[in-house]
């Protein structure tokens, strides 16, 4: 009888280690880039929506000229896709570099669009050594995946 209890206790402990913690976030989805490699906002958004179940966070980086889809006065069909991305767990980024260089006017963007910093000019960085984030960044909105964060930063590099 003790042997059966021991086996049951070990099995229960193993199951507890394998189960996600209570309140754990679902796995994060990938990063999709609109405006690079010929992907339109619509194509990148549709791909992201198809590959990520509702409620799973995923990420879209939008670079000019595809950022027009993020404006308050964007065409209705793009508004609907953008709203669906945000409603189903998508986080939409633009490059801080494009704002700094006047390619994007942040006042024209719909709410919820996040500016992300890229790598600075060679030899110049204010990111502390060994850190993943620049001072003042909201870590909650950025991907947990090192690969996705690296791609965001590389695409938005100065």
pLDDT at 56: 92
Measured between alpha carbons, how far is residue 114 from residues 12, 38, 60, 105 in Å?
Answer: 43, 22, 10, 13
Higher pLDDT, 141 or 21: 141
Say what the pLDDT of residue 54 is: 81
Residue 15 located in a structural domain: no
The answer to whether position 133 is within a domain reads yes
Tell whether 9 is covered by a domain.
Answer: no
Question: Tokens 């799973």 map to which residue?
Answer: 56
Domain that holds residue 54: 26-155
- 133 alpha carbon, distance to own chain's centre: 14
The sign of the torsion formed by the CA atoms of 29, 64, 114, 137 equals positive
72-126: per-residue pLDDT in tens?
A: 999 999 999 999 999 999 999 999 999 999 999 999 999 999 999 998 766 566 7
Tell me the pLDDT tens digit for each residue of 19-65: 344 344 457 999 999 998 889 999 999 999 999 988 899 999 999 99
In a domain, 124, yes or no: yes
In a domain, residue 18? The reply is: no
**H or E element in which residue 81 lies:** helix 76-87
The answer to the question of residue 19 being in a domain is: no
pLDDT of 26 reads 54
SS (H, E, C) 4-47: HHHHHHHHHHHHHHHCCCCCCCCCCCCEEEECCCCCCHHHHHHH
Confidence of residue 133 (pLDDT cuts 50, 70, 90): confident
CATH number, domain of 146, equals 3.40.1260.10
Residue 59: Cβ-neighbour burial (10 angstroms; 0-12, 13-18, 19+): buried
Residue 7 lies in a domain: no
Structurally, the chain folds into a number of domains equal to 1
Question: φ and ψ at 86, to 5 degrees?
Answer: -65, -35
């Amino acid at each position: 009888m003790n042997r059966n209890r021991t086996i049951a206790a070990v099995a229960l402990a193993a199951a507890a280690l394998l189960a996600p913690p209570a309140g754990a976030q679902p796995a994060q989805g990938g990063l999709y880039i609109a405006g690079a490699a010929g992907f339109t906002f619509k194509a990148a958004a549709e791909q992201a929506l198809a590959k990520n179940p509702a409620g799973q966070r995923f990420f879209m980086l939008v670079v000019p000229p595809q950022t027009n889809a993020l404006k308050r006065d964007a065409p209705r069909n793009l508004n609907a896709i953008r709203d669906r991305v945000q409603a189903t767990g998508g986080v939409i980024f633009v490059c801080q570099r494009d704002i700094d260089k006047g390619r994007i006017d942040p006042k024209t963007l719909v709410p919820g669009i996040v500016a992300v910093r890229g790598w600075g000019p060679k030899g110049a960085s204010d990111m502390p050594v060994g850190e993943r984030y620049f001072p003042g960044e909201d870590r909650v909105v950025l991907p947990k995946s090192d690969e996705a964060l690296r791609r965001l930063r590389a695409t938005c590099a100065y």
